[in-house]
Amino acid sequence: MALTIIELPHVGESVTEGVISKWLVEPGQRVRKYDPLVEVMTDKVNMEVPSPFEGTLTRTLVNEGDTVLMGNAIAEMDVEGAVPSQAAPGAPSPVFSAHPEPVEGRAFEFVDSVRSVGPTGSGEGGQGRPDALLDAQNAARGAASPPAAPSTSGSELRLSPLVKRLVAQHGVDSTKLVGTGMGGRITKEDVLAFVESGAGSKTAHPEPVEGLPASNVIPLTPLRKTIAEHMTRSSREIPAAWSMVEVDVSGLVGYRAAQRERFERDAGVPLTYLPFAAYIVAQALMANPMLNACWDANGIAMNDHVSLGIAVSTDAGLIVPVLHGADALGVQDLAVRAAALIDAARNGTLKLNEVQGGTFTLNNTGALGSIVSAPIINYPQAAIVTTEAIVKRPVVVEGDAIVARSMMNLCMTFDHRVCDGADAGWFLADLKARFEAIDETSALL
């Protein structure tokens, strides 16, 4: 047996933290490898973190309701079959950090190539890790054992940072709360349930934000904070340029109208313009690979496949699920998969692999009536394109005749470190040609 630190696994470049929803195993309980260990809520999905080893959970290092950075320590475990490495004479037995093998087919993987700036990456011998700091404090005080668990009643109640923020925001008297978490700890759900019950409404005095009346403040959700951080990073780090072309999609409009009834009867999903746009964008990206690349400190990282992110508006905020391998899919497959992803995004049932690994993003702002937009690049991708509203308007055609045509704008923002204006222009011209080539004789479905 060897004492091992379990970390909150890294699950994607855009997911930086998670909230510990519920511990599924208590200290002293034996678990098998891959048994569910803890429920974690992120801005993308809710997930069960499985145990990376077989052994006995000896201590939890974070409480239910705590917000924890990815890569930080969350628990200690006595791992069966593990042999501690040789320590220097007189030195304490080492505490390992969990670096399990990736779990094929699961919704995430533990990353062992990332040196965390948190507990397990903060010094040799665990220096700086929460458990190591606690042990050092106990040793300095001459304590023979860890301090007793705190009381969970009255003014001595221990609250996690997240719960403290909620208590302050809603003006809740914490002594009136009943904890349902492990050991009677108060969780986020306990606070929200108390607020919704109206029990504390008469004495509630929400903590104001400087410069704004408290009644005008909407508390930030993890998703809203992540969107803000992600977009700020994109705007700050990427020298972005913008371009637009207008496209005559009259042929596409006619083709969709002719195929819609049969397709929806056979496929069981709506036939929108999105799968046509996704198909055309994916094919054009394979012909214009610079737009499907991303900037790297050592060079430009090229992708040999297209994993197309599709921006989806939900009640919680913007989510970008990913159509993996979009370059190998036809319009019908894209329609079916896109419909499933959109439903999952709006129902909160997306899996982690469904929000990771995008190489390019497509946004259908036209669904909201927009005719021109300037989207922000989904970091660290090289570009994002929007399909705007299809509007019928008079157009001058061959022979100087003026006819009514269905027109759509394509707007694109691109990373000028990766792509020059010529690259962007060729890509947009390719998209335009592919859209305008569709007519009633096309065989896309």
DSSP element (H, E) containing 387: strand 383-387
Instruction: Say if residue 230 is in the same domain as residue 131.
Output: no
Lowest-confidence segment of 155-164, 255-264, 268-277, 284-293 by average pLDDT: 155-164
Indicate the residue among 190, 216, 242 that finishes a domain.
216
**pLDDT of 120 above 70:** no
**Residue 411 domain-assigned (yes or no):** yes
Peptide bond preceding 380: is omega within 30 degrees of 0, i.e. cis?
yes
- Give the domain CATH number at 113: 2.40.50.100
Task: Give SS3 for 402.
Answer: strand
pLDDT (tens digit, 9 = 90+) per residue, 44-70?
677 788 899 999 999 999 998 888 888
Instruction: Say if residue 86 is in the same domain as residue 31.
Output: yes
Instruction: Give the model's pLDDT for residue 267.
Output: 95
Nearest to 2 by CA among 65, 95, 87: 95
Nearest to 355 by CA among 3, 47, 4, 29: 47
Instruction: Say if residue 25 is in the same domain as residue 126.
Output: yes
**Residue 148 domain-assigned (yes or no):** no
Tokens of 118: 């948190």
**How does strand 308-310 pair with strand 322-323?**
antiparallel
pLDDT (tens digit, 9 = 90+) per residue, 384-398?
999 999 999 999 998
**pLDDT of 115 above 60:** no
Indicate the residue among 78, 113, 140 that finishes a domain.
140
* Residue partners of 365: CB distance under 8 A and separation at least 6: 373, 375, 386, 387, 388, 411
User: Which sequence positions are flagged as catalytic?
Assistant: 416, 420
Instruction: Say if residue 340 is in the same domain as residue 228.
Output: yes
Q: What are phi and psi of 139, to 5 degrees?
A: -65, -40
Lowest-confidence segment of 103-117, 131-145, 344-358, 391-405 by average pLDDT: 103-117
* Residue partners of 148: CB distance under 8 A and separation at least 6: none
Characterize 68-94 residue by residue with b for buried, 16 or more Cβ atoms within 10 angstroms of its Cβ, and e for exposed: bebbbbbbbbebeebeeeeeeeeeeee
Distance CA 137, CA 169 (A): 33
Task: Give SS3 for 348.
Answer: coil
- Give the domain CATH number at 405: 3.30.559.10
- pLDDT confidence bin for 260, thresholds 50/70/90: very high
DSSP label at 204? Answer: -
Quote the mean pLDDT of the chain.
80
**Residue 442 domain-assigned (yes or no):** no
Quick one: average pLDDT of 343-355? 88
Instruction: Say if residue 281 is in the same domain as residue 334.
Output: yes
Instruction: Give the model's pLDDT for residue 200.
Output: 57
Lowest-confidence segment of 42-46, 268-272, 322-326 by average pLDDT: 42-46
Instruction: Give the model's pLDDT for residue 218.
Output: 79
Instruction: Say if residue 99 is in the same domain as residue 122.
Output: yes
**Residue 353 domain-assigned (yes or no):** yes
Distance CA 421, CA 50 (A): 47
Distance CA 66, CA 64 (A): 6
Torsion of Cα atoms, 94 then 99 then 100 then 105, to 10°: 160
Return the amino acid letter for 121.
G
Instruction: Say if residue 209 is in the same domain as residue 230.
Output: no
**Residue 445 domain-assigned (yes or no):** no
Please report which residue ranges of 52-146 form alpha helices under DSSP H. Answer: 130-140
60 versus 109: the higher-pLDDT residue is: 60
Domain count, the chain: 3
pLDDT (tens digit, 9 = 90+) per residue, 276-298?
999 999 999 999 999 999 998 88
Instruction: Say if residue 178 is in the same domain as residue 284.
Output: no
Instruction: Give the model's pLDDT for residue 41.
Output: 81
Instruction: Say if residue 75 is in the same domain as residue 34.
Output: yes
Indicate the residue among 86, 108, 140 that finishes a domain.
140
pLDDT (tens digit, 9 = 90+) per residue, 414-423?
999 999 999 9
Instruction: Say if residue 55 is in the same domain as residue 159.
Output: no
Q: How many residues does the chain have?
A: 445
Tokens of 248: 């005559």
Task: Name the pTM for this structure.
Answer: 0.62
Instruction: Say if residue 333 is in the same domain as residue 413.
Output: yes
Decide if 427 contacts 284 (C-beta within 8 A).
yes
**Residue 179 domain-assigned (yes or no):** yes
* Residue partners of 385: CB distance under 8 A and separation at least 6: 281, 360, 361, 362, 363, 375, 410, 411, 412, 431
Task: Give SS3 for 417.
Answer: coil
Quote the domain boundaries for residue 255: 224-436
**pLDDT of 212 above 60:** no
- Give the domain CATH number at 160: 4.10.320.10
Q: What are phi and psi of 409, to 5 degrees?
A: -95, 140
Instruction: Say if residue 19 is in the same domain as residue 42.
Output: yes
**Residue 441 domain-assigned (yes or no):** no
**Residue 443 domain-assigned (yes or no):** no
